Structure 1
């Protein structure tokens, strides 16, 4: 699980690849048009919410940077859903 003392950031993103069996999911930052991976979650409740997202759904997440570039842990979900769908 994540350590709260790391620096966090918020990202408005679109799901590129839904969460796989290993808990990894790929997202695209809407503003920067860059892809990144979420590989860790603050708790199982957040992981369950993110697991329910499909490709193309928008999500606004608070993230902690990981030890590798382009890899993050999710701390909090701000909003998500098909009504916020991006192409």
Structure 2
């Protein structure tokens, strides 16, 4: 997994395609959430949080930790990161 991520993020054409996939995901999520700017803003926030959490977890594993060791921190980080988004969307 670490080698795959390095390959993707260090190869400009693959990194560019990954960005394209992320933008398509954002557009699809926005369409499902709300047809206006509110949906686009919410989708952008969700995608950004996902990207930061994924990169953080990847870096910890690339630094030599196991997924099992990282898991409790990843769950806590996700809870912390998504809490404001849940609140903004009107969910407790």
TM-score (norm. length: structure 1)? 0.25
TM-score (norm. length: structure 2)? 0.24
**Higher Cα Rg, which structure:** 2
